[in-house]
Structure 1
Amino acid sequence: MKVKIHALFEYLLETTEAAPEAIVGFSLSASPKLGDYLADLDPNQSLDWNGRDFRGLPELREQVLAQAGLTGICTPADVLITAGAAEANYLSILQRLQPGERIVIETPGWPQAEVLAKAKGAEIVKVARSEAEGWRLPLDRLAAAVTPGTRMVFLTNPNNPTGNLMSAAE
Structure 2
Amino acid sequence: MGRDKAALPWGAATMLETVVAAVRTALPQVFVVTAAGRSVALPADVDVVVDPVPGQGPLRGLETGLRAGGAAGYPWAFVAATDMPLITTRVVGLLLDAAAPGDADAVIAVAEGRDQPLAGVYRTGLAGRMDADIGAGVRSMRRFLDEVAVHRVVLGGADARAVFNVNTPADARDARRHGIV
- With the length of structure 2 as denominator, give the TM-score of the two structures: 0.30
From the CA coordinates, give the structure whose radius of gyration is larger. 1
User: Larger relative CO (CA 8 A, sep 6+): 1 or 2?
Assistant: 2
Instruction: Using structure 1 for the length normalisation, give the TM-score.
Output: 0.31
